[in-house]
Amino acid sequence: MQKTVNILNRKARFEYEILDKYTAGIVLAGSEIKSIRLGRASIAESFCEFQDMELFAINTNIEEYAYSRNFSHAPKSERKLLLNKKELKSLHKSVQNKGLTIIPLRLFTNEKGLAKLEIGLCRGKKNYDKRETMKERDTKRDLDRIKKEF
């Protein structure tokens, strides 16, 4: 049984308001999947962009696999995302018309061992929304601390 990998983009939930989520496959080179299975990937600074009606994940960092000899991949390269044509059209339409962005939320492996990327259609939060989120987080932490004492 394979160990599942779950790499999160924690900044995304703080910086953006997530409107819709999609699960997409990723086109990877041979050594990239091995690095992902070892957990040597980061999606903290990545975003998604359309090029000729195809969606690409840009700025995702997948470290080089240490044991590969001949073929090693570029750590920060564009990686094509695989979605249905209907999903691609709706995402493209909403990004163009409404000014929304597509941000990777989670990189994980499924039960078959394939790497998947959960992307979210997002709207940027304003500063007052971020302060409100921080305030809610602090009050929740204080309440949990009080409950733990009793």
Average pLDDT over residues 127-132: 89
* Rounded Cα–Cα distance for residues 94 and 9 (Å): 22
The CATH architecture of the domain made up of 6-125 is Beta Barrel (2.40)
pLDDT tens for each residue of 12-69: 888 899 999 999 999 988 788 888 888 889 999 999 999 999 999 999 998 888 787 7
* Rounded Cα–Cα distance for residues 17 and 149 (Å): 34
> What token pair was written down for 29?
């080179």
Rounded to two decimals, the pTM is 0.82
